[in-house]
């Protein structure tokens, strides 16, 4: 297998979680790569909390009035819709978003998520993340397994301010796929060329090893792109 970046592996694996017809909200950064790896028969509709349904890749000259939630120029598919923040958050809070994919600073073994504030750093605020993790049917945290200093990001208990309590459904990193259950964190898949011992060593939280532990699915698609 060719060596791919952590972001490529994570985005490709997250794409395998999408089902045809899903309404999906993608956080800024790594999650925006997910559509690049969708199977051809899977069509999703992208929702953006700043008031769009049906966002598309930018094509042609940017329209200054058409940007994603991160403020970057975007396109919109035919039949897409624009609306105000009231309607946008009514969709989110009303449970009409099937999947939210966002990054994380910490996830703990109770499925709590901290992803909006690093103490000592200037921040614009939580944005729509709190509403998205509370209102979406499925919350996928797509993040690198450890911080830049090598410390664990999947820990026993979050010590940063929470974005949501008990909201995470699935954690996808470059090393592993971990499902959040009522009994704790279940390790279901590991990346090729990664050992079980390595995943455990880089995870502070207690992991239950699935009886059907398998290689990370969907990654073979990288070889065909």
Catalytically active residues, by annotation? 49
Query: Kind of pairing, strands 99-102 and 75-82?
Result: unpaired
Task: State how far the Cα of 141 lies from the Cα of 215, in Å rounded to an integer.
Answer: 19
Give helix then strand counts, H and E, for the chain: 4, 13
Strand order in the sheet with 176-181: 75-82, 52-56, 45-48, 23-26, 99-102, 138-142, 170-172, 176-181, 184-190, 207-215
Given a contact cutoff of 8 angstroms between Cβ atoms, the answer to whether 190 and 199 are in contact is yes
Helix or strand (DSSP H, E) at 178: strand 176-181
């Amino acid at each position: 297998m060719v060596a791919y970046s952590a972001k490529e592996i994570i985005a490709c694996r997250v794409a395998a979680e999408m089902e045809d017809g899903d309404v999906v909200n993608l956080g800024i950064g790594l999650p925006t790569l997910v559509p690049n790896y969708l199977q051809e028969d899977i069509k999703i509709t992208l929702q953006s909390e700043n008031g769009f349904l049906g966002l598309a890749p930018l094509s042609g000259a940017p329209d200054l009035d058409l940007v994603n939630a991160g403020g970057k120029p975007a396109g919109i598919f035919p039949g897409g819709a624009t609306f105000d923040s009231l309607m946008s958050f009514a969709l989110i809070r009303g449970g009409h978003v099937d999947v939210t994919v966002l990054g994380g600073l910490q996830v703990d073994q109770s499925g709590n998520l901290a992803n909006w504030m690093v103490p000592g750093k200037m921040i614009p605020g939580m944005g729509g993340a709190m509403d998205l993790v509370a209102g979406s049917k499925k919350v996928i945290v797509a993040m690198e397994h450890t911080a830049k200093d090598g410390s664990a990001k999947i820990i026993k208990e979050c010590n940063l301010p929470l974005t949501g309590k008990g909201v995470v459904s699935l954690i996808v990193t470059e090393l592993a796929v971990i499902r959040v259950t009522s009994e704790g964190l279940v390790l279901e898949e590991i990346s090729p060329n990664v050992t079980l011992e390595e995943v455990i060593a880089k995870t502070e939280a207690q992991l239950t090893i699935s009886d059907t532990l398998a290689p990370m699915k969907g990654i073979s698609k990288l070889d065909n792109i």
